[in-house]
Structure formats: structure tokens, C-alpha cells
Amino acid sequence: MRTFTVDEYHWLIANGFFADDERCELLDGLIVNKMSRDPIHDACLAAGRRVLDSRLPQGWHIRVQSAVTTTRSEPEPDLTIVRGAEFDYLSRHPGAADVELLVKVANTSLSSDREWKGPLYAEAGFSTYWIINLIDMRVEVYSDPTGPDPAPAYRRRQDFLMGDSIPLTIGGPPVQPIAVADLLPPATATPPALRP
């Protein structure tokens, strides 16, 4: 199977290789179709953006379903807290040194977000990765990445449940913790197929 470099992937995008409605990302050199989003995913994405945006100190902003760049990949997390202003990234996507937090809302993509994207982010040195887990109704917080390693991973995982609050640091000082209940739908609103 042919793999692509980040530069080759950029060339394909610049030369119109992908259809306008084709949604894909580069993961470990493979061009992968992105999962379709359902209403619960989009509702939780909007809630997460609103809550995180209210915590941002000056000099940081949120990108929504936009690419970050590693040496072999260009994934598109649902939410990314990035240093600087939006127009600082006109000629490149942010990398690990620019990013404080990556967030993925996961229902149909949960195993891929844990087993493929987690190690990919850890290898690149992204400091903190959250999975808003709609299957088990929790937020998984991954930190302390190994960086380049034969088996890259996050050394620390903490699960936060309804009733918990997640500590968050942006650019050094901690900001107001985020209630898990602000990121997950109420149990009565969760479609039966996603109820634990």
C-alpha cells in the first residue's frame, strides 16, 4: 500500500485531487476517509467549543475540525486550543509546540481515536489529548506523551465522569476547571444506541 508524505498530501490538496465533498485526513502516511458525523457528535462538538472558548486566556484561540501537522500525519481533531492568533497560521498548520489541547468527540470512532490517533499524537509530543467518550459517557484525559518511541503512547490516562470537573492549564496557569456535565449530553437526551 502506498503511503504519502505530508508534502505530497499538501500537493494533492493544492492540485484539486480530492472532490469538494470528500473528507479525508493523512494518518501515518495513509489517506483515510473521515467518519461521518451524527447529530449527537455535532451537539457535543458545539458544547465543547463554547465551554473551552469561555476559558481561553489572551493569546490563544480554538480551531474546529482543522488540521494539525506531525512528521507523517495531518489529522483533524474536533477541537484544538492553539497559541497565537488565527492569521498566524496562514502558511502552515499548528504543530505540537503550538497546541495546548486536542479534543476528539467519539462515538463511532472511539477505538480509532484511542488506538490510532492517541499514539500518533503522543509520538508527535502533543501534551494533552481529550476524548469526549459518548459510548461510556465520560471524558478520557491523556497526558505525558512519550514522544518518538517504538511504541508511542500517553503515560497517563484519567477518566472523568458526570459530576467530575476536569482541571485545565492553558499557557502555564490553570484556568477554571470544566464540568464533565458541560461536555456530555444529559442521559435522558442520549440516543438509546449510545447509552452505556
- Residue 138: inside a domain: yes
- Asked if the structure places residue 189 within a domain, the reply is yes
CATH of the domain at 111: 3.90.1570.10
**Position 189 confidence tier, pLDDT thresholds 50, 70, 90:** low
CA-to-CA separations, 153 to 2, 19, 49, 114, in angstroms, rounded = 25, 34, 26, 10
Please give the helix or strand (H or E) that residue 138 lies within, else none. Answer: strand 138-145
- Residue 191 pLDDT more than 80? no
Any domain includes 126: yes
With respect to residue 11, please indicate whether it lies within any of the assigned structural domains: no
H-helix or E-strand spanning residue 178:
strand 174-179
Residue 195 has pLDDT above 70, yes or no: no
Average pLDDT (94-105) is: 97
* Pair 78, 99: CB distance under 8 Å: no
Q: Is 18 inside a domain boundary? A: no
Q: Which pLDDT value is given to residue 188? A: 62
Lowest mean pLDDT among 15-19, 46-50, 85-89, 170-174: 15-19
- Closest CA relative to residue 182, chosen from 90, 85, 10, 44: 44
Q: Determine the pLDDT at residue 31.
A: 87
Structural domains of the chain, count: 1
Domain-located, residue 5: no
Q: 107 lies in which domain range?
A: 37-194
Is residue 105 one of the residues assigned to a domain?
yes
pLDDT level of residue 190 (50, 70, 90 thresholds): low
Q: Is residue 147 part of a domain?
A: yes
Question: 63 near 101, Cβ under 8 Å?
Answer: no
